[in-house]
Amino acid sequence: MEEMFAPSMLYEFGIWYLVFLFSLTLHEGAHALAARLGGDDTAYLGGQVTLNPLPHIQREPLGTVLLPIASFFFAGWMMGWASTPYDPHWARRHPRRQAAMSAAGPAGNLLIAAAGFAALSLLLGAGTFVVPHVDGLSISHLVEPNASYGPGSLMHPLAMGLSIALSLNVLLFLFNLLPLPPLDGSGVLHGLFPDSLGRGIDALRANPMMGMLGLLMAWQVFDYIFYPVFRVVLRLLYAQGS
């Protein structure tokens, strides 16, 4: 228990939560903005077309506060969720717009991942960051400052924050695009093929248990998708520091 609340653990938790909350907020804000641009003001009227995390926390306190804290201290990384309301009648009338709304959230995560990759590549190429020893490599420790930066340097939290931003947002992008309800990928398929796959997805969504089953299935297959993709990302990233 003492190790759980050690200063180093709390320091890492603070960086993790800031990146996690920003990533989740941008994801949901992108959904809300895409819906409004497509003609549905439901989320906009709820105050969710914003990068302010408070409206998203107020809507889903369990997924944005309690579960991320618990998962970090018991698993070493954060998981959680938020949600964006939309008008289902609007979605049925405009399936392509629904597909765009569903894709907008993962696209926001891809944007963060690309920005993190670009920043890390630049700093690796400049020699500011170096590749850590393989034994110390983790999703929150993809790089570290070179030896000239002391323990108190701001380069240390920057290295951790950018590492988490890249790792977490690649994960969120890929996971949310899996075509299983209730994930965003199912919404994209529903909007693109409303008269075929969309009917099957509607049938699955009508049963609340299918949402839980969809998440369980997604976790079962996700390792086979994430790790090969992430290895490619790391090879491209570390080529900048060689």
Q: Does residue 28 carry a catalytic annotation?
A: yes
| 72's tokens | 């970090």
Distance of alpha carbon 133 from the chain centroid: 26
Rounded distance between C-alpha atoms, residue 203 and residue 207, angstroms: 7
**Residue-wise DSSP of 169-229:** HHHHHHHHTSSSTTSHHHHHHHHHSTTTHHHHHHHHHTSHHHHHHHHHHHHHHHHHHHHHH
Candidates 2, 3, 28, 60; catalytic one: 28
Residues annotated as catalytic are 28
